[in-house]
Amino acid sequence: MPKLIVFLGNPGMQYRHTRHNAGWMVCDAFSAYKGMTQSWTTKFHAQYTKQGDAVLLKPQTFMNESGLSVQEATKFYGIDCKDVLVVHDDIELPFKSVKIQMGGGMGGHNGLRSVKTHLGTDRFCRLRLGVGRPPACIQVADFVLGRFSPLEEKGLEDVLKQASKEIEGFIKNGIQSR
């Protein structure tokens, strides 16, 4: 069965190294981890490529409309929702945490909300990348659209490696082995 791996992020240089683009950072790390050299194509309001039986998707809409790309790709490839893995930042997990799960709440994440709306269900898999909670003096939106601190930057490599291994496991075994 084909799998769809969705890496959430926002287009534009101003978002490139922000917490909200952690999904896109994982995409780059996974591509390097797998030694991928194939080019990306534009379709489904996204950039996508194939890696074996998996379709890798980077929606090019803003976060709030990511579900449109996911819906189009799942319909085109006939991918069941249980075979969709959405890689995203999560303020509910401490920084450096990586957790894979099936379903769950949206936690105020507009990208997840969009995917749920467009798929008509929350029964898709998530790879949650902990970015931690903002200090009380910083608004959540400002925090997730802000860059990682220099100390956090040093820990990102381990997070990206762990996330890449989780994606590889999901492609091979789905969520059942978790």
pLDDT in tens, 149-177: 999 999 899 999 999 999 999 998 888 64
Distances (CA, A) of 123 to 116, 117, 148, 151: 8, 11, 30, 35
pLDDT for position 107: 75
pLDDT in tens, 60-96: 998 899 999 999 999 999 999 999 999 999 999 999 9
What is the homologous superfamily of the domain 3-173 according to CATH?
Peptidyl-tRNA hydrolase (3.40.50.1470)
Average pLDDT of the chain, as a whole number: 91
Answer yes or no: are the C-beta atoms of 21 and 7 closer than 8 Å. no
Across 128-137, average pLDDT = 91
Confirm whether pTM is higher than 0.85. yes
Beta strands across the sheet bearing 125-130:
41-43, 46-51, 54-59, 3-7, 84-90, 125-130, 98-102
85, amino acid identity = L
Answer yes or no: are the C-beta atoms of 92 and 17 closer than 8 Å. no
Q: Catalytic amino acids?
A: 20
pLDDT in tens, 120-130: 999 999 999 99
pLDDT in tens, 107-116: 778 899 999 9
- DSSP one-letter code for 13: G
pLDDT tier, 178 (very low <50, low <70, confident <90, very high otherwise) = very low
Q: What's phi and psi for 27, nearest 5 deg?
A: -55, -50
- List all residues 6 or more positions away from 142 whose beta carbon is below 8 Å from its beta carbon: 134
pLDDT for position 176: 65
